[in-house]
Structure 1
Amino acid sequence: MNVFKVFLVLIVVSSCQTKKIMNQENATNKVQKPNIVYILADDMGYGDVSGLNAASGIQTPNMDKLVQNGVHFSDTHTNSSVCTPTRYGILTGRYAWRSRLKKGVLDGYDEPLIENDRPTVASFLKNNGYKTACIGKWHMGLGFQSKNSAPIKVEKEGSNVDFTKQIESPNQLGFDYSYIIPASLDMPPYVYVENGKAVEMPSSYTNGKTEKEAGRGVFWRAGEVSPSFVFDKVLDNFTQKTVSFIDDQKEDNTPFFIFFPLTAPHTPWLPTGNANGKSKAGRYGDFVTMVDDAVGAVVEALEKAGKLDNTLIIVTSDNGSNWKPEDKKAYAHRANYKFKGQKADIYEGGHRVPYMAQWKGVIPAGTQSGQIMCTTDLYATVAGILHKSITKEEAPDSYNIWPAYTSNVKVPIREAIVHHSHDGMFSIRKGNWKFTPQLGSGGFTKPKTLEPKNGEAPGTLYNMAEDPKEENNLYKKHPEVVKELSQLLEKYKVQGQSRL
């Protein structure tokens, strides 16, 4: 071979090696900064997803595809069994009972729950080069201004809110763009707020709906409403806004984060069009199919925009389903699967939720994880994906669960999870053990509280691996475990995790 040929070979080899290195660098960058779309259903139970419950009365093909193409966690818990505190925990990585909200939820006129100086997932990602958006139900308080500089006052047929004034909104918490309603779809004021401005003044008034007159699940409170605010169009409107936001990123290589909290299947249950009669779980089940349609629309939009392959899609719920005993009598469907209780309860059905994630080429398809996880873990997990360190002050109750998304991690990542009910009842889960120092549901299931009889255990201890239905109380059989978990719960009440 002459010198010229050798020179050509060296050039070709060098070019191939350079290309290989560039491809590796591109792959590394891709792994480090995916787009992130977090879809949060409202009151959807573990048993609603047909891919997780073969006996479900609802077919959810789009969520099932995420289960098939990505990972699903079978032991995921919301940090509260109702919505406001769970949403606070998702965005801050902090249990909401550490905030001013010790029980219950906010209403639509309440002041912001997230403290102004508290970092959020959105502000963290924004500081790391992301474009951020919040589209959907907020329900964590807004900074409304009154007409007369007096405290906000809500009366029978209106309020003294001046909707022409700027509103403190998600934009103050790290979101570049926001398009929201203040609270649940059954809570006034019924108005869209875009980037801290009311889209339309709530110049009308609704007398509300009651289940007695309209049927199970069709309920909303009386209050101020914008003239063109149509209750059964809100979910579709948010979905279209999210699709539009994704489409706008088509030519932009800036990574984006979308927090997409849905209004369904929370009351009012308002399925429309082809969704009516689609399930075997009544109006509620039909509304869940619309949640699935929203998931499908987002996935399709990502694909059309050429963003699907580099997007981490997460779908979960803010608490268990509000599937009551009367619903169980009417339908064979079990919205909360085999778990005890319902939304608001300290029981498993109150806070154990579906959780699935897809990132093509990064998360192995068909992965199932039994890793115990909490919704507060989003913050540290996102930081883990980006290889960024965070302090315990940033997200004191957040753990990096990312390793379990991509591999079969057997060792528990979390030391424990603290559960919290609507009425402020505590419980703690460590490994297979779940300890509750009181009796009763602490939520919607009766009795809410229960005094122990003579000789009866004052609390409960369950082995969740052997007894996921919480039927066999082992409180008296394992006093050493009761003591350990009781002390650990008290420790967690005063401090977050230890993070080096």
Structure 2
Amino acid sequence: MDRRPNFIFILADDLGYADLGCFGARDGASTPHLDRLAAGGVRFTDGYANSALCSPSRFALITGRYQYRLRGAAEEPLPPSAKGQAHLGLPPSHPTLPSLLRDAGYDTALVGKWHLGYPPHFGPLKSGYDEFFGTLGGGIDYFSHIDHTGTRDLHDGEVACHERGYVTDLLTRRAVDYVSRRHDRPFLLSLHYTAPHWPWEARDDEAESARIGRALLHYDGGSPATYRRMVSHMDEGIGKLLASLQRHGLDQNTFIVFTSDNGGERFSDVWPFVGAKMDLLEGGIRVPLIARWPAGMAAGASTPQVAATMDWMPTFLSAAGVVPDPEFPPDGIDLMPVLREPGRVLERALHWRMKHRGQRALRLGDWKYLVQDGHEYLFNLAADPRERANLARRSPGILADMRRQFDEWEQRMPSIPPDAYVGRTATGEDMARPG
């Protein structure tokens, strides 16, 4: 029997750092299944998304590399106008987490959001997944399944489908079905929920779906209570998936990771941080991060290890005994030493950049270097997690050193194309931060 682990990577969309009970939810949020997942595994207090918005983080996840290496990831985010464009997406020739695991004998499936380029040039089945059920683009309505161009975006494989139901529940059902099938080989299941991304609709809000029609980014919609229900529906679905794993004797040797593609949105709780999606402040990039593998890692632990989206490709490959493609070495690090010994911390630097507001950031130890709108900031996150005390004048030597390190890193990355899309509405407002 093949004793290599199964892998399930669960990705929420626009979830705030403190939206889960196990990360300090303050507003009555109920996430018992995710809290149980954290109690049985390792909780990362310093988990980061590779980007402050959706598709760039997904490029980093699937390749294990800084998203800036690929032209499609320069879009902030990948827009619907990318449809039909051969340069805006994940090249099928690029090695990916699913393609490397598939070539090593794994079954692979994506259930949920893709957002890495459109057919005919790009798609999940072209980049290593054997099966796909979900949405090719960004946000869709939870009931009508249309995107903000009015196009229905729910697919089974490469064929558009018209399955009726609340999207979060449809994705849960398909994921549970996948793990319930007989698998003669280990599997990778990528479960990428659209929740709690706008439009803000809970399971009992079908009338709201009819009201907003194609206006998915509804400035007058949603509420904290609706948002909490959306998170709760996702948590319920994860509970069903965990129950299915246990029922089929798969829970002990299944390696599960849960995180978000970027920081929180309008109704999210990012406490104790400031900022939100589209910001390189901590609220836009610090995300809840949980890993559990009963047969292979510590349980009930917490770690301050700085970890990012791109780390999970090399980590999964390490756990499976698979070697990365030498021509595309990961920028992410293998976290298995930390998962086995949560008291251990690996030193590393993390870099971010965005065309939006000319943002730049570097996290190194307790220090963070940040540029926004032409202004430089230096924060000590251990002493000031809310990034309120700018130490740039007080510590000019540290500022200069971190600026130099960032510049040296950026010189190794392709430049941002001048025509790269920045996520703004037609009125100029931040698409991620309406109102």
CA distance in 2, matches of 1:260, 1:484: 40
Instruction: Provide Cα deviations, 1:72-113, integer angstroms capped at 9, x if missing partner.
Output: 111011110000100110001122222213241112452452
Residue 432 of structure 1 corresponds to which residue in structure 2? 366
Q: Residues 397, 169 of structure 1: CA spacing in aligned structure 2 closer, same or farther, 3 A cutoff?
A: same
**So what's the TM-score if we normalise by structure 2?**
0.83
Residue 418 of structure 1 corresponds to which residue in structure 2? 351
Structure 2 counterpart of 1:240, from 173, 182, 195: 173
How many Å apart are 1:54 and its aligned residue? 5.0
When structure 1 is superposed on structure 2, of 78-87 and 480-489 the one drifting more is: 480-489
Structure 2 counterpart of 1:319, from 245, 258, 262: 262
Answer whether contact 1:74 1:355 (CA < 8 A) is retained.
yes
**Unmatched segments (≥5 aa) in structure 2:** 141-146, 207-222, 414-435
Instruction: Provide Cα deviations, 1:340-384, integer angstroms capped at 9, x if missing partner.
Output: 101110100001000111112322221101100110111111122
For this pair of structures, how many residues does the alignment match? 384
How many Å apart are 1:470 and its aligned residue? 0.3
Q: Is the partner of 1:38 in helix, strand or coil?
A: strand
Residue 221 of structure 1 corresponds to which residue in structure 2? none
How many Å apart are 1:388 and its aligned residue? 3.5
Answer whether contact 1:90 1:376 (CA < 8 A) is retained.
yes
How many Å apart are 1:302 and its aligned residue? 1.2
Structure 2 counterpart of 1:176, from 122, 130, 133: 130
Residue 132 of structure 1 corresponds to which residue in structure 2? 108
CA distance in 2, matches of 1:106, 1:128: 30
CA distance in 1, matches of 2:385, 2:108: 38
CA distance in 1, matches of 2:393, 2:91: 42
**Structure 2 counterpart of 1:309, which letter?**
Q
Residue 259 of structure 1 corresponds to which residue in structure 2? 190
Matched, 1:81 2:52: yes
Q: Is the partner of 2:291 in helix, strand or coil?
A: strand
Q: Residues 268, 373 of structure 1: CA spacing in aligned structure 2 closer, same or farther, 3 A cutoff?
A: same
Could you say which structure has the larger radius of gyration? 1
How many Å apart are 1:393 and its aligned residue? 3.8
**Unmatched segments (≥5 aa) in structure 1:** 1-25, 145-166, 200-227, 328-333, 440-448, 452-457
How many Å apart are 1:391 and its aligned residue? 5.2
**Cα RMSD (Å) of the superposition?**
2.3
Residue 397 of structure 1 corresponds to which residue in structure 2? 331
How many Å apart are 1:479 and its aligned residue? 1.8
Q: Is the partner of 1:46 in helix, strand or coil?
A: coil
CA distance in 2, matches of 1:191, 1:383: 31
Q: Is the partner of 2:101 in helix, strand or coil?
A: helix
Q: Is the partner of 1:309 in helix, strand or coil?
A: coil
Residue 144 of structure 2 corresponds to which residue in structure 1? none
Q: Is the partner of 1:80 in helix, strand or coil?
A: coil
Matched, 1:308 2:251: yes
Answer whether contact 2:277 2:283 (CA < 8 A) is retained.
yes
When structure 1 is superposed on structure 2, of 187-196 and 259-268 the one drifting more is: 187-196
Runs of 4+ aligned residues of structure 1 deviating over 3 Å after TM superposition are none
**So what's the TM-score if we normalise by structure 1?**
0.72
**Structure 2 counterpart of 1:257, which letter?**
L
Answer whether contact 1:420 1:426 (CA < 8 A) is retained.
yes
Structure 1 counterpart of 2:10, from 29, 32, 39: 39
Residue 205 of structure 1 corresponds to which residue in structure 2? none
When structure 1 is superposed on structure 2, of 240-249 and 105-114 the one drifting more is: 105-114
Aligned-pair identity (%): 30
**Structure 2 counterpart of 1:472, which letter?**
A
CA distance in 1, matches of 2:80, 2:325: 32
How many Å apart are 1:115 and its aligned residue? 1.8
CA distance in 1, matches of 2:94, 2:175: 26
Structure 1 counterpart of 2:92, from 106, 111, 116: 116
**Structure 1 counterpart of 2:29, which letter?**
I
Matching of residues 42-53 of structure 1 within 5 Å = 42-53=13-24
CA distance in 1, matches of 2:173, 2:81: 26
Instruction: Provide Cα deviations, 1:39-92, integer angstroms capped at 9, x if missing partner.
Output: 000011110001120524301000000111111111011110000100110001
Q: Residues 382, 34 of structure 1: CA spacing in aligned structure 2 closer, same or farther, 3 A cutoff?
A: same
Residue 272 of structure 1 corresponds to which residue in structure 2? 203
Q: Is the partner of 1:48 in helix, strand or coil?
A: coil
